[in-house]
Amino acid sequence: MALVCLGLEGTAHSFGAGIVTSKGKVLANEWDMLKPSQGGIHPREASRHHSDLGPGIICRAMETAGMGYKDINLIAFSRGPGLGPCLRTTATMARTLALKLDIPLIDVNHCVAHIEIGSLESRFEDPVTVYVSGGNTQVIAFAGGRFRTFGETLDIAIGNMLDVLGRYLGMEFPAGPLIEKEARAGRDFHSLPYSVKGMDISYSGMLTAAKKLVSDGVPIPDICYSVQETAFGMLAEIAERALAHTKKDELLLTGGVARNDRLTEILTGVSERHGARFHRVSPSLAGDQGAMIAWNGILQYESGHEIEVESSYVLPKWRTDEQDILWRH
Ligand code: AMP
Ligand code: MG
């Protein structure tokens, strides 16, 4: 009999509930993203969003899957990394369900969940993963029992950089897709700070310089085009180095920014040069959602891990490489 896991995601702006079987079948994946009318994401507002809408989203997932609570065998939740108030709200819902239904509770690292749902979809066995989202920008690969961060942003995440620039340009949140659209009409490339430091990258200097182009009167499509080419070029450079160094032959692109076609095109080129296969996670599984949490819950439970409610406190700064990956060898 296949196990069924209900996974709750709530690290930042999105709350999601996903239901996945131990055969890797996604039965439901419902979510909602907080879109502030102005300014960025406030942790308290986001956690209120999760507590207001969470229960309804869980019910919707149960309906979509055509299941009753007695059909659920496991509860998994995003334990970190993320915004404290959001994590605590989500964890409280997960603990309540686990206690009420008297079933195992499993704590999931959000970044690891992104990698594993991508591996499930692509059937990749051991990829180099480029994980790009509103809160994270990392190049990750499995080595010595853990997912190691080969390179990452030293300051702001790529999605955050795009959203902040978009807000400055008067775009609504999330600005990533709007910047992508504008960039297609860009013609003139304007040089921006390209900062790759070893295997790490930095976006804050580039953001400041891009804002300056706005006040210099550079057309918006040219700014968006220049920003994309520079930001994606930096990412491609460290992804390429990770592929060359690890000699792995699969490259996986995941996270909300994976929806970008130009980034996909650039990384496809990187993979081809290294004889690696490439996969971009499909839009419904790319951003923050519960199916990835549920699938990771299954992987962990099947390798013998669960957590007591008493010790299930959240880990806002939980790094990708701090967890022993028991299900991979
Ligand atoms: P996540 O944090 O994984 O839910 O992803 C949300 C982030 O993805 C936001 O910062 C969005 O601006 C960004 N994003 C979504 N679609 C695109 C796109 N087509 N191009 C670039 N960024 C995108
Ligand atoms: Mg994410």
Same domain, 47 and 187: no
pLDDT band at 167 (very low <50, low <70, confident <90, very high): very high
Distance 322 CA to ligand 1 centre (A): 25
Entry pTM? 0.95
Alpha carbon separation from 131 to 17, 50, 111, 195, 315 (Å, rounded): 21, 24, 8, 18, 19
Q: Which domain holds residue 213?
A: 124-285
Same domain, 295 and 269: no
328 in a structural domain: no
pLDDT at 37 over 80: no
CA gap 62, 176 in Å, rounded: 31
Same domain, 17 and 57: yes
294 in a structural domain: yes
Q: Are 6 and 76 in contact (CB under 8 A)?
A: yes
How many domains does the chain fold into?
A: 2
Mean pLDDT estimate for the chain? 97
What radius of gyration, in Å, describes the C-alpha atoms of the chain? 20
Distance 142 CA to ligand 2 centre (A): 18
pLDDT at 47 over 90: yes
Percent of the residues in the chain that have a pLDDT greater than 90, as a whole number? 97
Question: How much is the average pLDDT of 281-305?
Answer: 97
135 in a structural domain: yes
169 in a structural domain: yes
Question: How much is the average pLDDT of 151-165?
Answer: 97
119 in a structural domain: no
What does the DSSP 8-state code read for residue 140?
A: E
pLDDT at 40 over 90: no
Question: How much is the average pLDDT of 1-27?
Answer: 97
Same domain, 130 and 218: yes
Same domain, 260 and 306: no
Q: State the CATH number of the domain containing residue 131.
A: 3.30.420.40
Which residue in this structure is represented by tokens 């390798």? Answer: 303
50-107, pLDDT tens digit by residue?
999 999 999 999 999 999 999 999 999 999 999 999 999 999 999 999 999 999 999 9
Pocket test for ligand 1, best of 153, 162, 178 (most atoms within 8 A of CB): 162
Distance 113 CA to ligand 1 centre (A): 17
CA gap 78, 91 in Å, rounded: 7
Same domain, 25 and 136: no
Q: Which ligand is nearest to the CA of 261?
A: 1
Side-chain half-sphere CA neighbours of 141 within 13 A:
20
Q: Closest ligand 1 atom to the C-alpha of 136?
A: 2
Same domain, 32 and 91: yes
Same domain, 136 and 270: yes
pLDDT band at 36 (very low <50, low <70, confident <90, very high): confident
227 in a structural domain: yes
Exposure b/e, 304-318, CB count within 10 A at least 16 = b: ebbbeeeebebbbeb
Q: Whose CA is nearest to atom 21 of ligand 1?
A: 176
Same domain, 131 and 51: no
232-256, pLDDT tens digit by residue?
999 999 999 999 999 999 999 999 9
Distance 29 CA to ligand 2 centre (A): 15
Q: Are 279 and 121 in contact (CB under 8 A)?
A: yes
CA gap 18, 6 in Å, rounded: 6
Looking at residue 264, its pLDDT comes to: 98
Q: Closest ligand 1 atom to the C-alpha of 255?
A: 3
Find the residues whose C-beta lies inside 6 A of ligand 1: 14, 133-135, 159, 162-163, 174-177, 180, 255-257, 259-260, 287-288
Same domain, 174 and 199: yes
Same domain, 258 and 134: yes
CA gap 8, 26 in Å, rounded: 14
CA gap 54, 51 in Å, rounded: 5
Pocket test for ligand 1, best of 133, 164, 257 (most atoms within 8 A of CB): 257
Same domain, 86 and 139: no
